[in-house]
Amino acid sequence: MHFQGRPQKHSIRTMGIVLLAALGMLATPIRAQAPATQSGPVDPLPPDTGAAGLKQMLIRLQTTARLMQTVAHPDDEDGGMLTLESRGKGVTTLLMTLTRGEGGQNKVGSNLFDVLGVLRALELTASDRYYGVEQRFSRVADFGYSKNPDETFQKWGGHDIPLSDMVRVIRTFRPDVLLARFSGTDRDGHGHHQASALLTKEAFRAAADPKRFPEQIKEGLQPWQALQTATILPARAFGYDKDLGTVDEGKLADLILVAGDPLHDVRDVARVQQVIVDGRVYSVPEILAPFQRR
Ligand SMILES: [Zn+2]
């Protein structure tokens, strides 16, 4: 822009307008600060709207796979994995958290027990929106730290209350893959964690057995068999069976060799001996080397 003629007067007038605008902002601070688009707790998230939302819908059209993870408390879940499967791969994904975390500690406030459970349940369902997963709970409570699953089941009134809740979710959600977050062993570090994995194994079988919790079958639910093996059936469910799932000519040769038979004892999946990725063989010490303490 060129100022020909009387530039000085022009700039004075501009300053006056700027000053008036500044005074106007001081006089009406509330209106000035109110953002034009404020998103509420039920508004869709940015990744679910516009071009990003359309991309999510198109990814979801490419698979019918359904995955369900089971845990004991809010924040036990593997949020990265859930987000990858749901938003990254379009898998319809559900998280079942047995308790609402009422028995946890609170380092940032004074809320404990039932109120803490409400707070943690709200935090969890807010996280679920970002993971892109559905959420279910069961009727059992988090009564605080538990040393072992026997004590946990004693306080939960036996296995059948959480088990029937889990079976009901499996029969209604109908997952292809059922995934326990924990192992059901002492390594889980908390009786509730162990119990959640033990219940998942029981629920896997019970959901497919019409004699278990027959009142649910009478209500119209169907028995449902989730996938058991960790090889070809999940590969098929997720549409990767052309490249993965079996050892065959022309398929990817990425393999994990374990000592034992995971179909006989699922803990054998942790007994890794060698890993083959992109045609290279890695030994366990080689893989763990960057993580060893010096
Ligand atoms: Zn936990």
Note the pLDDT tens digit of each residue in 259-276. Answer: 887 767 767 777 888 898
Query: What domains, with CATH codes, occur in the chain?
Result: 47-218 (3.40.50.10320), 253-291 (no CATH)
Residue with tokens 């946990």: 152
Q: Dig out the tokens for 33 from the structure.
A: 């600060």
Alpha carbon distance 115, 123 (integer Å): 12
Mean pLDDT estimate for the chain: 85
170 Cα–ligand 1 center, Å = 21
268 Cα–ligand 1 center, Å = 23
pLDDT category of residue 101 using cuts at 50, 70 and 90: very high
pLDDT at 10 over 70: no
pLDDT score, position 34: 46
121 Cα–ligand 1 center, Å = 13
pLDDT score, position 36: 47
Triad 174, 177, 183: Cα angle to 5°: 120
pLDDT higher at 291 or 47: 47
State the DSSP string of 196-262. Answer: HHHHHHHHHHHTT-TTSSHHHHHTTPPP---B--SSHHHHHHTT-TTTSSS--TTS---EEEESS-T
Alpha carbon distance 130, 139 (integer Å): 25
198 Cα–ligand 1 center, Å = 15
Asked whether the CA dihedral 220, 129, 89, 71 is positive or negative, the reply is negative
Alpha carbon distance 28, 48 (integer Å): 34
74 Cα–ligand 1 center, Å = 7
pLDDT score, position 8: 45
Note the pLDDT tens digit of each residue in 195-246. Answer: 999 999 999 999 999 999 999 999 999 999 887 666 777 788 888 889 988 8
pLDDT higher at 61 or 37: 61
